[in-house]
Amino acid sequence: MHSFTLLRSSWLWYIVQENLKAIYHMQAAYSPDYEITLRRRENMLFFKRWLKNPSQMGTLAPVTPSLARLAANLVENPSDLIVELGAGTGRVTRALLAQGVKPQNLVLVELDHELCVFLKETLKDLPECKDSMPHIIEGDATRLAEIIPESFKGNVATVVSAIPFMYIPPIAREKIVQSSFDVLKPAGSILHITYNPKSPLAFKKDLNQERVGKLWFNVPPGFVWRYQQGWPS
């Protein structure tokens, strides 16, 4: 009893409490109930934001976990610097982290304030984010060179985009693409998630364009396109 009292009154008790909290959060993040609850919260929030601004959100719900994993699996080197555009509720983010992308090497750009708050609240509970968090930036994807950390500029290997290109004018798509190439390495690429089997950038003849992933049985069917600078061969 005496030794327990000493432990409780010492700094060791603080360490024990913090470790117990960490274990709880790790178990919660991996539990099926936690995942189900999180998806329900995501879907509800996304739908509310869609009602407020349908053209900005594009779709009624976030991308499915299967489509998010497909896109994450197409990142060639998880150790590289990655920028995610239209991070939304974090489904693609969580897939990237699960694929091995380090939080400190990941920048999330999201225009909607409430979605940014949701990202900060939910990502901190992930085991992958125990020691560090991704850079979460509330900002405009057409101004990447102005808003991302200095160390990322010109060193980004992949920009992963879930921005609904199908629902925005071609000139806005062009600005986002140019903004992405402004921060990418010379051989860097854009991975774009879409529900369109045809490229939403087909009008840009100065890009190498390749459909690198497809999920026909996704609801709706989902696709991933890779874009790189240079005239098609």
Q: Classify 111 as helix, strand or coil.
A: coil
26 within a domain of the structure (yes/no): no
Cα 77 from Cα 109, distance rounded (Å): 20
182 within a domain of the structure (yes/no): yes
Is residue 24 very low, low, confident or very high in pLDDT (cuts 50, 70, 90)?
very low
Is residue 42 very low, low, confident or very high in pLDDT (cuts 50, 70, 90)?
confident
Mean pLDDT along residues 150-161: 97
Q: Which residues contact 4 (CB under 8 A, 6 or more apart)?
A: none
DSSP letters along 21-32, please? HHHHHHHHHHSH
User: Which pLDDT score is estimated for 231?
Assistant: 62
17 within a domain of the structure (yes/no): no
The neighbouring-strand residues paired with 228 are 208
User: Which pLDDT score is estimated for 147?
Assistant: 97
User: Which pLDDT score is estimated for 43?
Assistant: 74
Cα 221 from Cα 219, distance rounded (Å): 5
Note whether 82 and 105 are within 8 A (CB). Answer: yes
Dump pLDDT digits (tens) for 74-94: 999 999 999 999 998 899 999
User: Which pLDDT score is estimated for 218?
Assistant: 87
Mean pLDDT along residues 51-80: 82
86 within a domain of the structure (yes/no): yes
User: Which pLDDT score is estimated for 150?
Assistant: 96
Is residue 60 very low, low, confident or very high in pLDDT (cuts 50, 70, 90)?
low
69 within a domain of the structure (yes/no): yes
Residue 194's domain comprises: 31-229
Is a pLDDT exceeding 50 seen at residue 155?
yes
190 within a domain of the structure (yes/no): yes
User: Which pLDDT score is estimated for 141?
Assistant: 96
Q: What stretches of 139-201 adopt beta strand conformation (E)?
A: 156-161, 184-194
7 within a domain of the structure (yes/no): no
| Percent of the chain surpassing pLDDT 90 | 61
18 within a domain of the structure (yes/no): no
Is a pLDDT exceeding 60 seen at residue 214?
yes
CATH number, residue 110: 3.40.50.150
Looking at per-residue pLDDT, the higher value among 207 and 232 belongs to 207
Is residue 6 very low, low, confident or very high in pLDDT (cuts 50, 70, 90)?
very low
Is residue 62 very low, low, confident or very high in pLDDT (cuts 50, 70, 90)?
low
Amino acid at 63: V
Q: Which residues contact 139 (CB under 8 A, 6 or more apart)?
A: 109, 110, 111, 147
Cα 19 from Cα 23, distance rounded (Å): 6
Cα 202 from Cα 232, distance rounded (Å): 12
Domain total of the chain: 1
